[in-house]
Chains A and B, each alone.
Chain A
Amino acid sequence: MKLLTLNFLTCARKACKATNAAFPLHPKDAELEIVEVELSPLFVRNILPRVEWEALRTLCQDLGLPQLPATAPEPGELFTPNPSDGVEGEGIEEVGEEGEPTQTLKDLHHVLLETTIREGKLVCGSCGHEYAVKEGIANFLLPSHLV
């Protein structure tokens, strides 16, 4: 399970969704695995504004990964400046007009898409419920007394 995925998941319990403590889930006894993924600069650029940066930092801290900067990189830090710099567009079609992906973008790709939790548990900081991750697959089904 990729760290990117974890950034979009919280406790499945309705009571927890309304609390800050339930997000992000905290990995426990996590066994990490690095899985190489082909770089898609376009995807990294599009996904970055949707990532909860603070939660990602917390997660990296929990996992003992290198510390991330305090704030998310700006869009301008993801690509080297292009000499034929046009108008910055928000559409995805313009990506060809961007420069080369920077090391910052490659690092983000590595953290978000190549760093995965192979085995372990995900613990809700609100209710303490533990979700199992086995062979990279997390199980979010709740026992009947928590539904």
Chain B
Amino acid sequence: MPQYLVRLAQTHESFRKAELEALAELAGIDIKFDFYDEDSPFCILALPSPSSAATLIHRSILSLSIHELWARGTDYPSLHASNHLSSSTFWPPHTTSSFRFTLDSYRGSRPSATQRTLIDSFAYMPLTGRIKMSNPELSLTIFEDFATGATAPRALYLGRLLALSGRAAKTTYDLKKRAYISTTSMDAELALVTANMALAAPGKLFYDPFSGTGGFMVAGAHFGASVWGSDIDGRSIRGKGGKAKRDVVSNMVQYGLMSRYLDGFVADLTNSPIRGARGPGEDAARGGWLDGIMCDPPYGVREGLKVLGLKRDPGENGERLACVDRYMEEGYIPPKRPYSFEAMLEDILQFAAVMLVVGGRLSMWMPTANEEGEDGEGQKEIGIPMHPALGLVSVCVQPFNKWSRRLLTYRRLSSDEISPEALSAMASRKKRVHGNGENADDLNDFRRKYFQGFKEPEAEHTADRQ
């Protein structure tokens, strides 16, 4: 297969390859990494065709562009030798095209005189078209890759620009320009990457059970998915402000994405109102009905799961509030109960296992350690949670100074990929010390649903047939 050079952004290194793999999966493109290094912004892919290369890259957030690879070398003589070798393949269609040459030096800086000399060293190529700096038909780039502190590049490439990536969305959705955000809003770049990992696309149904200010909903909708969100904190769903209301809806309106916004509602994942897949003709292989779940569960379990009462505006609907049950009030404080972070992660996986369609994805953020010791000591590394019905697709790590977090992406397996042994082992596993007894029951519930083909509600269903 022909080779292509992806010019990556040199940031969020551990996410870049997984993003490209996800995009290849989404577009059904056969992809092979011939060269990839986290320390380099240049990656070489084998792909079926230039058009597949353009398709692959057009919504990538962590790359800048993709190029047809014309030549590569470890120094200029070897780059030129490589260029001559492929001349009969690549040059003929472009000899009369308008063109431009540019130099892209990574971690190197070249004075403009040197740049000109380097570009002039390609003067032997039979390009007779006129030089055109903006929108030329042929855009050739010399890529130089310098090791840190090196005076000469360690690798050189020559490539023909095929397509730019979708990275401009990072700027479009910049939180600084978004009306409704909070301190826990995920930055636009990583929210968009998350949506890529989860394969958000037109016609699909996506859900965020911890939607907050709706960052993942915006990202999913940007890629065409229709989105639902819920949050245990009603204030985040209802938004802020009176007349000039700022809420998830106003964000969607700001970006022209309202046609993708379904609804936001107030709900708790452990007592979720969302139904499982139902109805006749259902089988286990079909799975549920959500195409994707994206979430960033509350990290600080203690803050996150404590739900605070909203200060009630006494002027508003005072009369109505007086005659409804207390729990119907806007300021109602839901009960708190002990709920460990690990139990929450398992609940999310369980929910995803039941609700996702086969092949549907869960992309979930989690810290790598919990906060057992307040002083940072005694932090307990949290293992990657697993579920027999979910295959782990990728693990990406975002390091910070004192901690790090991971983006975990899972795929809902089909029934013949799920090990019945693993399912029963999970079901019979002694329930872990979670502070509540629901988790093991939920696992049993999954097993029951799995073997009954996810027909709900089980109790009546069984009774009907007895």
A59 at the A/B interface (Cβ < 8 Å)? no
A139–B333 alpha-carbon span in the complex (Å) = 12
B405 within 8 A of A: no
> How far, in angstroms, from A48 to B203 measured CA to CA in the complex?
11
A141 near B275 with CB under 8 A, answer: no
Contact call B228/A18, Cβ cutoff below 8 A: no
Q: Is B330 an interface position by the 8 A CB rule?
A: yes
Contact A18-B457, Cβ < 8 Å, known A5-B228, A37-B258, A52-B279: yes
Given contacts A52-B278, A140-B268, contact A40 B203 (CB under 8 A): yes
Q: In whole angstroms, what is the CA distance A141 to B266 when docked?
A: 7
- Mark contacts of B313-352 with chain A using CB atoms, 8 A cut-off: 1 yes-contact digit, 0 otherwise: 0000000000011111010101101000000000000000
List B contacts of A103 (CB < 8 A).
none
| Complex alpha-carbon distance, A13 and B327, angstroms | 14
B424 within 8 A of A: no
Q: Which residues of chain B from 447 to 466 have a CB within 8 Å of any chain A CB?
A: 456-460
Which chain A residues (9-30) contact chain B, with CB distance < 8 Å? 9-14, 17-20, 22-23
Nearest residue in B to A50 (C-beta to C-beta)?
Answer: B289
* CB neighbours of B202 from chain A (8 A): 40, 42-43, 92
- Whether A144 sits at the interface, judged by CB under 8 Å, is yes
- Count class of interface residues, chain B: 35 or more
- A-side contacts of B65, CB under 8 Å: none
B109 sits at the interface (CB 8 A): no
Contact assessment for A141 and B228 in the assembled complex, using a CB-CB cutoff below 8 Å: no
- A127 on the B face (CB < 8 A): no
A65 at the interface (CB under 8 A from B): no
Given the interface pairs A8-B289, A9-B275, A12-B271, the reply to whether A141 lies near B457 with Cβ below 8 Å is no
Chain A, residue nearest B201 (CB): A92
Interface centre among B278, B325, B327 (most CB of A within 10 A): B327
B264 located at the interface, meaning its Cβ lies under 8 Å from any Cβ of chain A in the complex:
yes
State whether A92 touches B204 (Cβ < 8 A).
Answer: yes
Whether the pair A23, B263 counts as a contact (CB closer than 8 A) is no
B237 in contact with A142 (CB, 8 Å): no
Is B274 close to A, CB under 8 A? Answer: yes
Q: Report A10 CB to chain B, min CB distance, Å.
A: 4
Closest CB-CB distance, B229 to chain A, in whole Å?
A: 11
Choose from A1, A9, A47, A143 the contact partner of B327 (Cβ within 8 Å).
Answer: A143
The 8 A CB mask of B173-216 against A (1 = contact, 0 = none) is 00000000000000000000000000001111100000000000
Asked if B330 and A2 make an inter-chain contact with CB atoms under 8 angstroms apart, the answer reads: no
State whether B234 touches A139 (Cβ < 8 A): yes
List B contacts of A142 (CB < 8 A).
Answer: 268, 271, 327, 334
Are A137 and B266 within 8 A (Cβ)?
yes
> Is there an interface contact between A38 and B274, defined as CB atoms closer than 8 Å?
no
**Given contacts A8-B289, A40-B203, A141 and B267 within 8 Å (CB-CB):** yes
A22 to B458, CA, bound (A): 13
A86 to chain B, nearest CB (A): 17
| A136 touching B263, Cβ below 8 Å | yes
A135 within 8 A of B: yes
- Which 3 A/B pairs are nearest by Cβ-Cβ distance? A143-B327, A144-B335, A38-B259
Can you give 14 A-B contacts (C-beta < 8 A)?
Answer: A5-B263, A12-B268, A17-B275, A18-B458, A20-B460, A43-B226, A45-B203, A47-B205, A47-B226, A137-B234, A139-B234, A142-B268, A142-B334, A147-B335
